[in-house]
Each structure stands twice: as structure tokens, then as C-alpha cells.
Structure 1
Amino acid sequence: MNFIASLTRQAIQALYQQDIPESAINLQETRKEFEGQITVVTFPFTKFSKKSPEITGTELGNYLVAHAPAVASFNVIKGFLNLSLTDEYWLSLFHQEVLSDQFGILPKNGERVMVEYSSPNTNKPLHLGHVRNNLLGFSVATILEAAGYDVIKTNLVNDRGIHICKSMLAWEKFGHGETPESSGLKGDKLVGNYYVLFDKQYKQEVDTLKAAGKSEEEAKRESPLMQEAQELLRRWEAGDPHVIALWKRMNDWVYDGFEKTYERMGITFDRVYYESNTYLLGKDIIEEGLSKGVFFKKNDGSVWIDLTAEGLDEKLVLRSDGTSVYITQDLGTAQLKYDDFKMEKSIYVVGNEQDYHFKVLFHILKKLGRPWADGLYHLSYGMVDLPSGKMKSREGTVVDADDLMDEMVQTAKERTETLGKVDEFSETEKLALYDMIGMGALKYFLLKVEPKKRLLFDPNESIDFQGHTGPFIQYTHARIKSVLHKGNHQLSKDAIAPKALETIERDLIKELVSYTDVISNAAETYSPAVVANYLFELAKLYNKFYHELSILKTTDTLSKNFRLNLSAATAKVIAAGMELLGIQVPARM
């Protein structure tokens, strides 16, 4: 619609002898209750037209109709000039843009961006919170790629630390040699069970010590189990062969389990970093910061940074004994990632409980003079709640990602069979469809909400063939494919269109044309919700088109072929858009 802004600028120059930039012209989509497709806000122009918003709008409207062949008519509502564009204009966009092989694929922009997501701990399986993280990160990466970026998908695995040692110690003390093979459990679930068991035994020890007169802090500090875990961590950091062998063995179990979950989720990475390889990084950066005066030492030898001027506070970056804290290794890892890929942007997909941490990290890197620090971005997302309340890993009350996906597919099976939609499907086709619907419902429900918002995930609500859901959009795609099959039609670039469009046809073309803008907007805001909600509106609009107009039964061959072509283009955009969300769409259901 850039030509409208350009023509409006010309009109203002001609009518009011004022030269204003196109950026000062506010264009909006015309509200549904008014006639037109695009609206020019005229209030700002009254200061030099010296006339009311209504008269100003009328004068501009007359000029645009006279000088722009694409503008068919206009109406003015207070300070809003609503323009109706010609059918020829919309049909031209449909044929030149929507039917192009490159539609929805933006040209390469020469920028490289890294998206880091998942970042699991190797002491437990992935849970519902991880599912949102993975789906969000993978979808953002896919959208950025469609928007023309060169994208690197990375995962930083938290595979060391006291929490890892807790699982290791519990397995050594209580495991009796149990393995994934002997237990029949996925490796990540087995290790997660021992993390829960450690916490259970630890709490019992703390309660016993408190009953003997110790304070809670003393009890936690003097717990034999916790002391053993801390000793195990010291031995790991010292390179004790036995501890390292145990650590590698149990981590391998977890990685094998993670891979199965990632595959089921449809998630991939281009590079995986491990904290065990990066936790010592950053100490050289601390020395650099001390020499530059960015950091300062306290009397006990610990190193800090003062960020009070930035509205934060003083932050520890190195302990008095010379050991790293999280921010130390994150500084080193950020440098390592940049050295590896030289990207212009780096996006960290991490929950909003880490907002403060990333503010500190980015401020430090800027103070250290890293030019690439301006390209760092924390994609902060809200937690996921369930109708039953919050999840707690240590207590074993989390919603396991694998169990959740199984439940979604089972629910999809039950709902689909109840509706009698699969009577003619083979068993193999049924299983593929249930998986497609169940996973589509899960992904869409988690991605349709803006990342920053906390969300309540209701599995039953997510699988509704008539609601604001993935299955509704999938069903719309299948409906279109059925129409195309019955009409023996495939998308055609050469199909001749009627000269006059029905209102719903024009509306559908307008919605399709906006798809590339949707991708750009989603990429700029790092929000798959922009794509998800667009697809819902597109599916709703197609269903309105389907019910209002005859497609296969119309006697006008020209209209029939055009409506089939419009249907095929809609199916193409739905499939492409859902792919950006990591969701497959069925050809029938």
C-alpha cells in the first residue's frame, strides 16, 4: 500500500503546498463496519489545510480518485478517509504476488542471526515449560529464515553443577545398577526419577536435623546427603575419573531421551554447546574488565560491577575464591558464539524469571566495548500454568513433555473418531492424522499467545475443530483440499479472473496479500503469535467465502475456476504459515 502514502503526499503538496515525509502519513486497515479497504488518518493535516477533518478528507479523496486509477471511491468518517480500491488492483496483486512461486519468501537480507533455545538440564526430562521454549525458539528461527535471515539454531545444554550431581549421587546410593534398558524407561526419565528421589531423601534428613534442634539453614547445610553432593561436584571439577565416567554415562542416557523428545516435537539444532565445555570461559574477560575499570575488586578478592547508574545494582562476576558464577560463563559463552558465527543478532529464548540476568549480561558486554552487544536480545516468555496449578520439578509434579504429547494425540484420536471423520482411513493414515492433529493443537495453543504473556494451557480446549485452535485451521485446509479434489483443480498462474469481484472474494485476496507483511512483522517482533492469529483469521475468512458463494456448483465457468484458484492459493498460504509454526496440515480429515 506504499503507493497510497506516496499519492497522499502528492495530494497534500498540490492542495496545501506542504511537503511532508511519507512516514508522517498514517495508513490503517479500514474498520469492518465501513466501506473501503485502506484508511488515511486526516487529523494531522488540518493544521495546514485550515479546514475540518471531514472537508480535508473529502478534498484528499477527490484528488486520489482523480489521479489514482487504483482508487475506485472513498467515504469520510470524521477524520478518517476510507478508500475503496478497484477490483483490477486486487486481481493484479493476486496474480503478480500471491500466485508467484516466491510468495511468502522474502529476499535474503545479508544478516546472520542466532536463536538459542531449549537449554535443558541433564537431570530431568523435558516438561511443559520446555515445550513452550522449544516451540517458540524453533518457530522464531523458522520465521526469521522466511524473512530473509541466515539463521543458526543453537542449544546450550546445562550438563554440570550441583543439580546434576544430585541425580548422580542418588543413582549411586539407591540405583542398584538400574539402567534405561533394565527399567524400560527413557534415559532422561530414569535420571529425573533419581533427582526427585534425592530431594525426598534430602528433605527427610533436614526434618530429622531440625527435630534435633538445628535451624533450617543449619539443617540444610549439615545434611550428609547435600554434603556428599557438594563433594561429588568438587571431585567432578577436579577431574576424578570415576565421577567423570559416571557423569558421562548418565548424561548419555539423558541425551538419548532428549533426542527422542526433540524428534517427536519436530525440533532441530544446528549447533549444540555444553556448559561443561564453557563454564571456565569468561575469566579472561573478567581480567580484561578489571584492566579497563569496568569491574572492581572488593577486600575479599571478589570481583563486581556497579550497574546502579543503569537502574540495576552491584553484581558479582567472580567469587573471592576465583570460581565462576553464571554471569562469568555467560560472558565467555557469548564471546565464543560470536567468534564461531560472527552474527549480527543473537536471540536468547529464556523464561522471564531471567529478565534481570540478561539485563546485566547485555550491560556488561556493552561496557566492555563489544560492538556486537547491541544485537543481543532476550526473548523473554511467560510461564505455562495448568488448570491444576504450577509445576515443581523437584517434587516430581511437572507435566512431562512426552506424556503431554501422548495425551494430546490420544485426545485427538478420541475427538476425531467421535466426529466420524476417519471412517475411510487406513490404520496407518489414522495414526498419522491423530499425531498431526494432536501435535498441531499443542503447538498452536502455545504459539498463538504473545511470548511475554503467561498462559494457562488447557489440553481439552486446544483440540476443538470449531474454536481458535490448530485443528480448526487444519480442518479448513483439508476442506479446501477436498474442494480442489472434487473440482480437479490445481493452483494456476494463468487462470482468467472475472472482471467484477464479490466482496468476500476481494476480502480474501486482501487477506492473502498481507501474508508477507505478517512474516515481516513476526520476524521484527520475534512473535509466532502474529502468524498464528493471522492464519486463524484467514481460515475464518475462507470458511465465510465457502458458505457465502457457490464454488463447484456455480454455472459461471469463469467464476468457478477463479474461486477454485482462490481456494488453492488460500490452502498454499495456510500450509506455508503453519509450517512456520512447525505444524503440518492434512490433505483430508
Structure 2
Amino acid sequence: MNLQDTLSNYVKKAVKENFSIELETVEFQATRKEFAGDITVVIFPMLRFIKGNPVQIGETIGNYLVEKVDDVKAFNVVKGFLNVEINDSYYINFFNSIKDKETYGFISPNTEEKAVMVEYSSPNTNKPLHLGHIRNNLLGYSVAEIIKASGKKVYKTQIINDRGIHICKSMLAWKLFGNNETPENTGLKGDKLVGNYYVKFDQEYKKEIQSLIEEGSTEAEAKKNASILLQAQKMLLKWEAGDEETVALWKMMNGWVYKGFDESYKNLGVDFDILHYESDTYLLGKELVTEGLKSGVFHKEEDGSVWCDLTEDGLDKKIVQRADGTSVYMTQDIGTAIQRIKDFPDVGGMVYTVGNEQDYHFQVLFLILKKLGFDWAKNLYHLSYGMVDLPSGKMKSREGTVVDADDLIADMAKTAGEISEELGKLDGYSGEEKEELYKTIGLGALKYYILKVDPKKRILFDPKESIDFQGNTGPFIQYTYARIQSILRKADVDSNIVLNATDSLLHDKERELIKQIQLFPEVVQNAAENHSPALIANYTYDLVKEFNSFYQNVSILGADNDNEKTFRVQLSTTVANTIKNGFSLLGIQVPERM
């Protein structure tokens, strides 16, 4: 039982014994810096049940706590706030009780509980990953790691959108204009090569539209009848019919893209346990249409199309099968979700990391799955996130104006190098060591800048602003971690010595630091429950601020005695491990030197 639970029980007892009232809840908050105390009981909500002066009520409860709770040493009442002071022995005992400080805050996955599947990335195979994909990947990967650290088994997955008209556009452009270019004979990554032909298709398509308009067609007619578009549509029909030549071209170009994606994922530091391909799943769900018709969840219109009426649920009518019997995107998603549960029976819930433009789609998907009677549908979650903008404006893939993920990662490392050199922080490093550190700092800056923001908010990403060695940034936190490692390398203490709680008094800064460390397991659980890496990011920043205040006010290696020095070194070690653990949940590395 934690301190707050213990105090809550005793506050309830105090109220019952002194005022004959049974409180259901007790409200706590952190004690304000200007008052003595470690935790504050808010008296005002009790006034609905207890008649009297809030200060007197606080005094009564405070005296009860001092008498009954060993860990409470004193209290003070300010208006309706009971500020409770806790004995140093409580904090020292807590600190000594952390059995494995290297994995502090993490819970091993409970294999008896249902697993969670987290989907992210889900790219199209007609272009390389861009800045939007970066936010998606960072969010999905981080949420998967956080849920795992909270004690659940997690499967990380993506569905690769490897079929459809957009894929055929790249294929056709390569066939018409490619002159047998390959990643090998051009030196280009495969995803970039294919992406170039997606842009090429759009350029040629626009030329044809303009030509048709000049010949007398309307814009709508020109867009519909452009020869290159008709050829792409024909290619899609050939692919669906299994045409040997078309399928061979599709496999070759997708193979180039997959190799490029793998390199980008490695650069970004994300991975997957399972891969799904739309070419395998796009026909899934059709049999469920039949089941849904039988159960009355779906109904058939006169033209033969099948719909789900969600108007009573505040949504609209949704088509699940066209009049010609072909499935729609929603049908595929229904089938894919069900197939995942069949393939992985231990999965009891799923998280879909998809931009907020798809909010409505997932509302409908989850509701239809519930109506079809799948109990696990109540555990589906759409990790909806806002777009990422750059100061230069909006990105468009088909026009080739996107910010390429690989280029951005390289630019971040370059910028980190330029700033580090200006600050003169890397004297004595070899060229290779510098390059590795620049990557760590640059990628840490990028990830932290994106993940410290609530997922639902839109981001304006400024690369230079993210690489700042001061303030709420990744490099600032990495630098503090490296500073602690420098202290630990100089320290000559036995890390196995346990401080005796009864013989020691804590400095205010030591106490505040332990209180911050104490919060970490709860923050991990809250972040998992809320699917929010921002909670981890901002906790880690608060921990670093608390450590820097401790560092500036308390001598670590120059302590008055060996016990004090040992404790402060151990405390610094635990802070470093907690920073490392917090950053690992964000997919960020911490350098030993900086």
C-alpha cells in the first residue's frame, strides 16, 4: 500500500471517530513549495458532510495522523489545506526497498492476461516514409513499449498497403518511363526510386489533363479519360485477375520498397513482431457480410448493396458491400480485426495508431464489431493523433513535396553536430564517436519533441528548436544523464551499502528527488492507460529538473561523510536509471558521455 492509500484510510478513520461521518473519498494534492509538507489533504470537499471550520477540521485530522501513523511527523493547516510532513525514514526505507533499480517502474508481462496488439506505421508501397509516418511510428512504438512496461504482453504490428490503384500508378510510370532503373543501378533506396515514379505518374497525368482540356474536354472529363489513368486502372484489373507479368512487376517493385522501409525503420529505431499485407487481407470480411445479414446487423438495399444503419447510435448509414458484391475498406478492416484474433487467440484488445482524419472510420469500425457480437471489440482503441507541420508548409506525396524520413533523420544528426561543435562539448572525441553521438542526440531530439506533445494535438516541428541543450528537450535530458555518468565514474563507493533509516536525516533536495522517483511506476501505468507517451516525456523532464536542483544545492562527491556520499551516489544512480528507463519507453537512447 502506498503512502496516499495509507493516509486516505487514516483520514477516513479520523473523520469517522471524530465527526461520525463515513467519507467515501479523500482528495490529495502536492504541497505547495512555500509551505512545509510532503502531501496535502484537501479539507474543502469534506465540508459537504462535516459542518464546521475547515481549519479546525484540519487540526483534528492532523493530530490524529501524527498520533496514529508512524510515518507522519508533523502537520500544518493553511485555510482548508492540511499539509502533512512525512518522516525521512519513510523515504529512505522506500529508496532501499527498490530491489532492482535498473528495471524500476517496469512490471514483467503477465502471461495469464490477454495480450494487446498495437498497429502502427501501415505505409503505402508507392513512396518512402515521410515526417507524418515518423510521428505515427514513434507514437505506436512508444505506446507498445509503455503498455509492455505496465505488465501486459504486446504484439507490435503493421498492415502494409501494398495493392490498389496508387500502387499501380507507380508500377505503370516505371514501366513507361523507367528504362529498367533499379536500386542497384541507380544507387537509390528502393522506396525512394518507386516514390519518384509515383511523382512521375502525377506529372504525366496532369500533362494529359491539360492536353485534353485544350482539345475541348471539361476538366472532369479530362481527369476521367486521361490515357495514363485508364492504363493504371487496367493494370489494377490485371493484378486482381492474377496476370503473371503484372504480378511479377508488382512483386519486384514492392520488394525494393520493403528493403527501403527496413532501412528506414532501423534508422528510426522501431520494429515489429508481425507484418500484415493488404494484398492478403483485402478480401477478408465478405463472409461476415452474410453473417451480419442473417443476424440483422446489416440490411440489403434494392440495388443489392449491403449497409449497416448506425443512425440510432448517432452515426450514419455505412456501406459494407457494393452492389456488384465487392468489399469496401471498412469490410476489409472488419475482416482483418477478426483474423488477428483468430491468429492470436491470446489478444484481447487492439490499438490502432492512425491520424485523426480517420476518427469517424474507427468509431464506425468499433461499433460494427460490437454489433456483430465480438466481446473483445470493447477493448479496441484508436490512438488518434494530429498532423505534423513544418514552417515551410503542408506536404504532398504525389507532388514530391514531402519531408523524407531518412533525410530528416540525417539532417537532425547534422544539426546536432553543428550545435555541439559550436558549444565545444565534444573535445577529445574521435570522428567516429562524434558521428555516433550526433545520431543519438539528433534522433533523441526528434523523438522527444514529437512525443512530449499530447498525441491529439497538431505539431509544428522546428528541427533547430528541438536540438537545444536547455529547456524541455531531448538533448537537455540526455546531457543530464551523461553528467550523472561522469559523476559515477569519479565516485569510489560501495553501491551495495544500505543506508540505515534511523540514523539519517535527508536534505530537502534529497527528499524532493526521492519523491519524484517514487512517482515513476504510477506514471508508467497512467501513460499505458491513457496511451500517452507525453506523460513519460514530461515526467522525465521534471525528474531531470529536480536532479539539477539537487546537483546545484548538494555536494555529491564532497559530502561530509562516507554514508552521505554513498547515499547521494546511489540516489544519482537511481535517477540515471529512471531517466534511461523513461527514455527507453520513448525509444530514445542515452549517451554515457556528452
Q: Could you tell me whether the CA contact under 8 Å between 1:40 and 1:80 is conserved in 2? A: yes
Distance 2:521 2:88 in 1: 21
Q: Could you tell me whether the CA contact under 8 Å between 1:98 and 1:513 is conserved in 2? A: no
Residue 121 and residue 286 in structure 1: after superposition, are their counterparts in 2 closer, same or farther (change >3 A)? Answer: same
Instruction: Tell me the equivalent position of 1:62.
Output: 63
Aligned to 1:32, the other structure's residue is in SS state coil
What are the Cα deviations for residues 149-208 of structure 1, in whole angstroms up to 9, with x where unaligned?
Answer: 000001100000000000000000010100011111000000000001111111121122
What are the Cα deviations for residues 394-436 of structure 1, in whole angstroms up to 9, with x where unaligned?
Answer: 1111000000000000111111122222211122222221111
Q: Could you tell me whether the CA contact under 8 Å between 1:124 and 1:188 is conserved in 2? A: yes
One-letter code aligned to 1:588: R
One-letter code aligned to 1:561: T
Residue 424 and residue 310 in structure 1: after superposition, are their counterparts in 2 closer, same or farther (change >3 A)? Answer: same
Instruction: Tell me the equivalent position of 1:544.
Output: 549
One-letter code aligned to 2:148: E
One-letter code aligned to 1:500: L
Q: CA deviation at 1:337?
A: 0.6
Aligned to 1:18, the other structure's residue is in SS state coil
One-letter code aligned to 2:421: E
Q: Could you tell me whether the CA contact under 8 Å between 1:98 and 1:569 is conserved in 2? A: no
Q: Which of 288, 304, 322 matches 1:319? A: 322
Instruction: Tell me the equivalent position of 2:16.
Output: 13
- Are positions 1:171 and 2:174 aligned together? yes
Instruction: Tell me the equivalent position of 2:145.
Output: 142
Instruction: Tell me the equivalent position of 2:368.
Output: 364
Q: Could you tell me whether the CA contact under 8 Å between 2:21 and 2:50 is conserved in 1? A: no
Residue 101 and residue 202 in structure 1: after superposition, are their counterparts in 2 closer, same or farther (change >3 A)? Answer: closer
Distance 2:497 2:154 in 1: 31
Residue 489 and residue 381 in structure 1: after superposition, are their counterparts in 2 closer, same or farther (change >3 A)? Answer: farther
Distance 1:174 1:566 in 2: 64
Distance 1:102 1:325 in 2: 46
- Are positions 1:504 and 2:509 aligned together? yes
> Which runs of 5 or more residues in structure 1 are unaligned?
none
One-letter code aligned to 2:402: V
One-letter code aligned to 2:15: I
- Are positions 1:258 and 2:240 aligned together? no
Q: Alignment identity in percent?
A: 56
Instruction: Tell me the equivalent position of 1:386.
Output: 390
Instruction: Tell me the equivalent position of 1:419.
Output: 423
Aligned to 1:49, the other structure's residue is in SS state coil
One-letter code aligned to 2:558: K
TM-score by length of 2: 0.97
Residue 493 and residue 231 in structure 1: after superposition, are their counterparts in 2 closer, same or farther (change >3 A)? Answer: farther
What are the Cα deviations for residues 89-128 of structure 1, in whole angstroms up to 9, with x where unaligned?
Answer: 1111111137656521225442310000010000000000
- Are positions 1:473 and 2:474 aligned together? no
Instruction: Tell me the equivalent position of 2:221.
Output: 218
Q: Could you tell me whether the CA contact under 8 Å between 1:99 and 1:569 is conserved in 2? A: no
Q: CA deviation at 1:491?
A: 4.3
Q: Which of 434, 438, 443 matches 1:430? A: 434
Distance 2:190 2:48 in 1: 70
Q: Which of 407, 415, 428 matches 2:411? A: 407
Instruction: Tell me the equivalent position of 1:152.
Output: 155
Q: Could you tell me whether the CA contact under 8 Å between 2:101 and 2:577 is conserved in 1? A: no
Aligned to 1:344, the other structure's residue is in SS state strand
- Are positions 1:485 and 2:502 aligned together? no
Q: Could you tell me whether the CA contact under 8 Å between 2:102 and 2:578 is conserved in 1? A: no
Distance 2:217 2:500 in 1: 86
Q: CA deviation at 1:493?
A: 5.6
Distance 2:495 2:474 in 1: 24
Instruction: Tell me the equivalent position of 2:290.
Output: 287
Distance 2:561 2:493 in 1: 16
Aligned to 1:248, the other structure's residue is in SS state helix
Instruction: Tell me the equivalent position of 1:450.
Output: 454
Residue 135 and residue 105 in structure 1: after superposition, are their counterparts in 2 closer, same or farther (change >3 A)? Answer: same
One-letter code aligned to 1:505: E
One-letter code aligned to 1:371: D
Distance 1:369 1:278 in 2: 21
Q: Could you tell me whether the CA contact under 8 Å between 1:36 and 1:85 is conserved in 2? A: yes
Q: Could you tell me whether the CA contact under 8 Å between 1:46 and 1:56 is conserved in 2? A: no
One-letter code aligned to 2:226: S
Instruction: Tell me the equivalent position of 1:524.
Output: 529
Instruction: Tell me the equivalent position of 1:341.
Output: 344
One-letter code aligned to 2:239: W
Aligned to 2:552, the other structure's residue is in SS state helix
Distance 2:32 2:204 in 1: 62
One-letter code aligned to 1:81: L
Distance 1:357 1:415 in 2: 43
One-letter code aligned to 1:97: I
Q: CA RMSD in A?
A: 1.4
Distance 2:123 2:300 in 1: 33
Distance 1:422 1:492 in 2: 33
Q: Could you tell me whether the CA contact under 8 Å between 1:114 and 1:151 is conserved in 2? A: yes
Distance 2:181 2:493 in 1: 59
Distance 1:99 1:55 in 2: 44
Residue 480 and residue 489 in structure 1: after superposition, are their counterparts in 2 closer, same or farther (change >3 A)? Answer: farther
Distance 1:325 1:288 in 2: 16
Aligned to 1:388, the other structure's residue is in SS state coil
Q: CA deviation at 1:489?
A: 4.3
Instruction: Tell me the equivalent position of 1:79.
Output: 80
Residue 581 and residue 199 in structure 1: after superposition, are their counterparts in 2 closer, same or farther (change >3 A)? Answer: same
What are the Cα deviations for residues 509-536 of structure 1, in whole angstroms up to 9, with x where unaligned?
Answer: 0000111011011111011110000001
One-letter code aligned to 1:12: V
Instruction: Tell me the equivalent position of 2:300.
Output: 297
